[in-house]
Amino acid sequence: MALLDHINLKAKTDKNTGFGTNSSSYGGRFINKNGVANIEKKGMNILHRISWYHTLIDMPMWKFMTIVLAFYVGINFVFAAIYFGIGIEYLDGISNSDSDWGKFGKAYFFSAQTFTTVGYGHISPKGFMTSALSAAEALIGLLSFAIATGLFFGRFSKPTAFLKFSHNAVIAPYENITGLMIRMTPFKNTNFTDAEAKMTLGMSIEENGQMINKFYTLDLELQKINSLSLSWTLVHPINDQSPLHQFTKTDFETIHGELLVYVKTFDDMFSSTVAARTSYVFSEIVYGAKFVPMYTRNFDHSKTVLDLDKLNEFVPVVLG
Amino acid sequence: MALLDHINLKAKTDKNTGFGTNSSSYGGRFINKNGVANIEKKGMNILHRISWYHTLIDMPMWKFMTIVLAFYVGINFVFAAIYFGIGIEYLDGISNSDSDWGKFGKAYFFSAQTFTTVGYGHISPKGFMTSALSAAEALIGLLSFAIATGLFFGRFSKPTAFLKFSHNAVIAPYENITGLMIRMTPFKNTNFTDAEAKMTLGMSIEENGQMINKFYTLDLELQKINSLSLSWTLVHPINDQSPLHQFTKTDFETIHGELLVYVKTFDDMFSSTVAARTSYVFSEIVYGAKFVPMYTRNFDHSKTVLDLDKLNEFVPVVLG
Amino acid sequence: MALLDHINLKAKTDKNTGFGTNSSSYGGRFINKNGVANIEKKGMNILHRISWYHTLIDMPMWKFMTIVLAFYVGINFVFAAIYFGIGIEYLDGISNSDSDWGKFGKAYFFSAQTFTTVGYGHISPKGFMTSALSAAEALIGLLSFAIATGLFFGRFSKPTAFLKFSHNAVIAPYENITGLMIRMTPFKNTNFTDAEAKMTLGMSIEENGQMINKFYTLDLELQKINSLSLSWTLVHPINDQSPLHQFTKTDFETIHGELLVYVKTFDDMFSSTVAARTSYVFSEIVYGAKFVPMYTRNFDHSKTVLDLDKLNEFVPVVLG
Amino acid sequence: MALLDHINLKAKTDKNTGFGTNSSSYGGRFINKNGVANIEKKGMNILHRISWYHTLIDMPMWKFMTIVLAFYVGINFVFAAIYFGIGIEYLDGISNSDSDWGKFGKAYFFSAQTFTTVGYGHISPKGFMTSALSAAEALIGLLSFAIATGLFFGRFSKPTAFLKFSHNAVIAPYENITGLMIRMTPFKNTNFTDAEAKMTLGMSIEENGQMINKFYTLDLELQKINSLSLSWTLVHPINDQSPLHQFTKTDFETIHGELLVYVKTFDDMFSSTVAARTSYVFSEIVYGAKFVPMYTRNFDHSKTVLDLDKLNEFVPVVLG
């Protein structure tokens, strides 16, 4: 491989990435686009390996609501079956003239009325077994809604970095040299202050005849900003200290490399530190392009308008 | 413009504000009085652009309660209409002698009794459709109250900096020179410790024939205090390092400038870091004035009394 | 006053306390024993000056439960009165043969059954006014319990430093000199890590003929510890850098001084930083005493036993 | 004891552990395997010494559910007994022909229907005493579920370090010398960033004829990593600065020592800093062993697979 020829020996390596150096243990990218490490866990009991709370909190709303609904329909079915099994005659208010399906249906809705504690009372339990079962069902119902309350609150109060990254990175002109740039923007009605960014480059290269993962810290033009209200373009100047010094378009096409981006900021609305990560494999880096501005002032010059749809918009430029 | 004449070249510029330098992209002030950046977002779906949770959490109580009430009245209306559509004869306990309006009214209150799970039972569902609908309504009711519980808790547990800033900044005598001063005070029964303040000056000035935004860090007499229980006056000494050195009253009147203030402190009551921001455009800076003291000891000398109404009180002074 | 004679000019003053220097504006101690600043706020509307959430969260459990109970009894009384006013004939199930008190009582319990959504249904609303009122009451009931849920959760999940301080500080022998010591201990089943302490001395002294508040940073033998599981004795060595150097027993008795103690630690159980403050006025400092050990190993040497009752136990010692 | 012979005088002692030096006050290990300090508290009222919230939050789910169930069964029993005591004739809907047990049973289920607010109404209260009691029970029921909601939410939203440590530490070859190593791994679907570790060695040694606890800071090869997604092996190189320099297998067997490990990391999912501790007494250190790799790439090289079951797997090695 030709790669070793232009490794920049002046570039700062990074030993603290938390990723190992043995390239042959790794599959695919280090970090997925959504910021989660590209790792699959196995071993241990799956129930111990999964935080079901986080799973329920992070899934899309429609999935979550489907689970809630399925649970409600299902648990009432189970209870209805038991009421039916004990004997429909222990439910006062169900007439004997009903068909079996009709009886089961009434048991089912009695169950729903018990589970939700609506308890109209036109059907009511009689006898120890049915009374005890309905007492248990009301308890389970209330505890289920207690858990649902927690999950709803967990879902919407979870501090999340409402931050979007451009899909691509670009190599653009920067001062007299070139720079590697990515762009991010807050996209919701929250306030970010004290934002801090880190960029790391991971490459799979040959060293002493073996393929290893090598990581480099990429210096940024600005590493911290006081307030992240507009778009923020992270710029890594490709100067003679950069590991990307003298990289050509072909290098980006042939080398197996990945840019890891990590941002931490304080969200005034959550009063909490929030973090976001993403990564760009080399095929997601556009060589010779620059981002177009995302904001401008409004018609009467009283406000600055940020156009979120322009986050990933860039135009081609010829690099010296 | 005469401005460039007395730009202080010794003053520290600040590149980390997160605001851009291109003056012509900006409309109005950088930051509003309430600390929120003066930015309007467009693009993307509005549902993605808005955090409805934060919106509901931050709105005034009366608005929030109006929404809750409207939702309750509205959803019962919808359900009543469906019950009515299915057929009022499937609601046991509504007599045929009622007028249509009377029947709808009873369906409406049956809906309310189901939604809140009060379920008196003098009206009860009959038949599959109506029973299923009422089972669904009870579920929706409970989930709605689960969400309401979360919103109420979110509203009052949200860590917020209960900190008020003086409406005006003043240029007052300070030691042998002058100082730019603003004042803040905690106003609720919370405890602030480890408070830290930052002041930045933004001005729209001409450089190389173009109007640009230029930002300066304003040094403070005290940047950190251990405990913020009384009023705190932030003082920027206008010495020969200050970008405001040799600024005259006229300069404050003619230049388009803005003072950005940012405070971060630890709130013992929330056990959380809270942040507050505000800004003063030059027209909100009073040239030649000093704040009057806000606190004094009480009648028996056993307590210190802080008068919140004096936060913005100042008296004119003649500057050397 | 003789005090100025032995002010130690080498002692480090502290300008960042957040307390003012004008002694005549101050009443009583700076900080109360419980860590809250000894300040009374006035001005502004009291509703804006009070965080009712914090007030309800911080009050003792019995007070909180009394308020909950009073609210429940009171609101049912109000609703009962309105039901009564509309006319008891709109409540089905209340017989005409009841006395007025009996009718009111039944309206009262109907209200309670509606507010809690228990809704037995042996009494049920009739007519628009009463039906609408009961629908409103059920809503108010559920929202009240939503708020109560939030308050309960707020009460017990609030990160609090479960840390007790010795009631007294002592001046004890320390190495070859003396030291000012106070002691603290965690007292609940939580884990503190990375504890950090700060001690400040405030004294009211004469300077240029005026009484001013002067603050000194007191150096500590250990300012940080990794784990705070046992008792921690803060020691300020009274060496020749200390503002207390050459202070006599009489000085502590005559000078108006106060020791401010501030501790910040990370609580593993809350996963939150918690803070605690206290203060010792000079009359709470015991000259010539040392704390007795608080912990020892148990009978079979398998555990260390910490006796919380010994926190403030000390024995007199003669100082060189 | 021979120990003092090879104490490394160049090793860094650690005074900030928070553990005392008087060895004879200590029983057993400093910190238990689960990270909690091995300390028993006595004194004070036990109700003040225990945070029941933390106790309920930290207990296993089955224990918690048993307590909830026992409370539900028990409180209904108490209320049933009072209803029975007041007189079963005040409960409408219980026929006189029931046996005493039958009556008590009905009172019991009436209580359950009131406590859960299901309130079917086939049994309903009559008379002041019974009505008031059921109104009180409905209140207590709702408040209990308010508390349960808080506890459930507290249980699953509590920021916890989902981090497992290897059961053993090993002394393995490291570069040209040996190293003391322990290994940790995240085991759930959470994201750790900015992990930081600390290792402290505690030994009970003789100094001036007395047994004292002496603590040493153990330097680590890497103290911080940016992302903790895979396993992390903490390595303390046993070089000539190490307090373990020249320790033999016999030393680890005879000396009373303990390795304290402390990790702090930021959990993206909780948006909170979480901490974990553990300890290894010398008998848990395996002399001459090295950990086997825990991760490898998957079949199609698209993911890295982490095998949690290998956390504590090691193979023997001969040390030079």
CA-closest candidate to residue A147, choices D301, D148, D167, C104: D148
Residue that has been written with the tokens 């559910």 in this structure: D65
Residue A15 CA to residue A212 CA, distance in Å, equals 13
Contact C199, C214 (CB under 8 A): no
A121 touching C (Cβ < 8 Å): yes
Residue A155 CA to residue A57 CA, distance in Å, equals 5
Window A:214-233, CB contacts with D under 8 Å:
none
Whole-number Cα distances in Å, C130 to B134, C89, C114, C151: 22, 10, 12, 31
Higher pLDDT, A226 or B8: A226
C114 contacts on A by Cβ (under 8 Å): none
Report which secondary-structure segment, H or E, holds C153.
helix C128-157
C271 touching A (Cβ < 8 Å): no
CA-closest candidate to residue B14, choices B184, B198, B180: B198
pLDDT, one tens digit per residue, over B22-56 is: 877 787 888 899 888 888 888 888 888 888 898 99
ipTM entry: 0.88
C15 touching B (Cβ < 8 Å): yes
pLDDT at D263 over 90: yes
pLDDT at residue number A186: 93
The CB density around residue B182, as the number of other CB atoms within 10 Å, is 25
B150 touching D (Cβ < 8 Å): no
In B71-191, DSSP assigns E strands to 91-92, 124-125, 163-165, 169-174, 177-186
pLDDT at residue number C261: 95
pLDDT at residue number C133: 96
Type of residue found at A193: T
**Secondary structure of residue D253 in the 3-state scheme:** helix
Beta bridge partner(s), residue D183: D233
pLDDT at C2 over 60: no
- The proportion of chain B whose per-residue pLDDT surpasses 70, expressed as a percent, equals 98
B118 contacts on A by Cβ (under 8 Å): 118
Cross-chain Cβ contact D277/C112 below 8 Å: no
Cross-chain Cβ contact D122/A124 below 8 Å: yes
Residue D144 CA to residue D68 CA, distance in Å, equals 10
pLDDT at A112 over 80: yes
Please give the distance of CA A265 from its chain centroid, rounded to a whole number: 16
D300 contacts on A by Cβ (under 8 Å): 27
Q: Over range D255-279, report the average pLDDT.
A: 91
pLDDT at A153 over 90: yes
C268 touching D (Cβ < 8 Å): yes
Q: Which of A131-135, A139-143, A299-303, C5-9 has the lowest mean pLDDT?
A: C5-9
Residue B230 CA to residue B238 CA, distance in Å, equals 25
Instruction: Pull the structure tokens for residue B241.
Output: 């390092």
Q: Which of A253-257, B309-313, C195-199 has the lowest mean pLDDT?
A: A253-257
Q: Which of A305-319, B4-18, D103-117 has the lowest mean pLDDT?
A: B4-18
Instruction: Pull the structure tokens for residue B150.
Output: 């979360």
pLDDT at residue number A190: 84
D269 contacts on A by Cβ (under 8 Å): 51, 54, 58
Q: Over range A270-288, report the average pLDDT.
A: 92
State the pLDDT confidence band at C310, using cuts at 50, 70 and 90: very high
Mutate to test the interface with C, among B75, B79, B103, B116 (most CBs of C within 10 A): B116
Contact A5, A13 (CB under 8 A): no
Residue C191 CA to residue C88 CA, distance in Å, equals 59
The CB density around residue C168, as the number of other CB atoms within 10 Å, is 17
pLDDT at residue number C1: 40
pLDDT at D1 over 80: no
Mutate to test the interface with C, among B118, B158, B227, B273 (most CBs of C within 10 A): B118
Half-sphere exposure of residue D134: CA atoms within 13 angstroms, side-chain side: 40
**Secondary structure of residue D249 in the 3-state scheme:** helix
D44 touching C (Cβ < 8 Å): yes
b/e sequence D113-123, b meaning 16+ C-beta within 10 Å: bbbbbbbbbbb
pLDDT at D4 over 70: no
Which subunits sit against C, judged by 3+ Cβ pairs under 8 A? A, B, D
Residue B258 CA to residue B23 CA, distance in Å, equals 13
Beta bridge partner(s), residue D291: D314
D106 contacts on A by Cβ (under 8 Å): 131
Q: Over range C21-34, report the average pLDDT.
A: 84
Residue that has been written with the tokens 């940020």 in this structure: A306
Residue D263 CA to residue C268 CA, distance in Å, equals 11
State the pLDDT confidence band at D302, using cuts at 50, 70 and 90: confident
A120 contacts on C by Cβ (under 8 Å): 121
Q: What share of chain B is helix, strand, coil (3-state, %, to 5)?
A: 35, 30, 35
pLDDT at residue number A189: 85
Instruction: Pull the structure tokens for residue B317.
Output: 């002074």
Q: Work out how many CB contacts closer than 8 A connect A with C.
A: 6
Residue B138 CA to residue B97 CA, distance in Å, equals 28
Contact B232, B293 (CB under 8 A): no
pLDDT at residue number C95: 83
**Secondary structure of residue B313 in the 3-state scheme:** coil
The CB density around residue B67, as the number of other CB atoms within 10 Å, is 13
Q: Over range D185-209, report the average pLDDT.
A: 89
CA-closest candidate to residue C141, choices C206, C224, C220, C78: C78
Report which secondary-structure segment, H or E, holds D131.
helix D128-157
Q: How far is C303 from chain A (nearest CA, A)?
A: 31
pLDDT, one tens digit per residue, over D29-47 is: 888 998 888 888 888 888 8
Residue D76 CA to residue D106 CA, distance in Å, equals 11
B120 contacts on D by Cβ (under 8 Å): 121
Residue B19 CA to residue B40 CA, distance in Å, equals 14
Cross-chain Cβ contact C121/A117 below 8 Å: no
Contact A29, D294 (CB under 8 A): no
Q: How far is C305 from chain B (nearest CA, A)?
A: 30
Residue B141 CA to residue C317 CA, distance in Å, equals 70
Q: Over range C52-56, report the average pLDDT.
A: 91
Q: Over range C311-315, report the average pLDDT.
A: 95
pLDDT at C5 over 80: no
Higher pLDDT, D24 or A258: A258
Greatest alpha-carbon span in chain C: 91
Which subunits sit against D, judged by 3+ Cβ pairs under 8 A? A, B, C
Q: How far is B99 from chain A (nearest CA, A)?
A: 24
**N-terminal to C-terminal alpha carbon distance within chain D:** 26
b/e sequence D234-264, b meaning 16+ C-beta within 10 Å: bbbbbbeebbbbebeeebbeeebbbbbbbbb
Contact B313, B68 (CB under 8 A): no
Report pTM.
0.91
Instruction: Pull the structure tokens for residue D155.
Output: 């249980």
pLDDT at residue number B2: 41
Instruction: Pull the structure tokens for residue D75.
Output: 């409180």
Residue C71 CA to residue C50 CA, distance in Å, equals 20
pLDDT in tens, chain B (320 residues): 445 466 787 888 888 888 888 877 787 888 899 888 888 888 888 888 888 898 999 999 999 999 999 999 999 999 999 999 999 999 998 888 888 889 999 999 999 999 999 999 999 999 999 999 999 999 999 999 999 999 999 998 888 899 999 999 999 999 999 999 999 999 998 889 999 999 999 998 887 788 888 899 999 999 999 889 889 999 999 999 999 998 999 999 988 899 999 999 999 888 888 999 999 999 999 999 999 999 888 888 888 999 999 999 999 999 87
State the pLDDT confidence band at A1, using cuts at 50, 70 and 90: very low
pLDDT at residue number A147: 94
Contact D144, D71 (CB under 8 A): yes
**Secondary structure of residue A64 in the 3-state scheme:** helix
Residue A7 CA to residue C212 CA, distance in Å, equals 65
pLDDT, one tens digit per residue, over A158-174 is: 888 899 999 999 999 99
Please give the distance of CA D147 from its chain centroid, rounded to a whole number: 23
Residue count of chain D, please give it: 320
User: Measured between CB atoms, which of B117, B121, B149 is closest to D121?
Assistant: B121
Instruction: Give residues with Cβ within 8 angstroms of B125, minimum separation 6.
Output: A109, A120, B90, B91, B92, B131, B133, B134
D117 contacts on B by Cβ (under 8 Å): 117
Report which secondary-structure segment, H or E, holds A214.
strand A210-217
In chain B, DSSP assigns E strands to 39-42, 91-92, 124-125, 163-165, 169-174, 177-186, 192-207, 210-217, 224-228, 232-237, 257-267, 272-281, 285-287, 289-291, 295-297, 304-307, 314-316
Domains defined for chain A, CATH in brackets:
3-33+167-316 (2.60.40.1400), 52-157 (1.10.287.70)
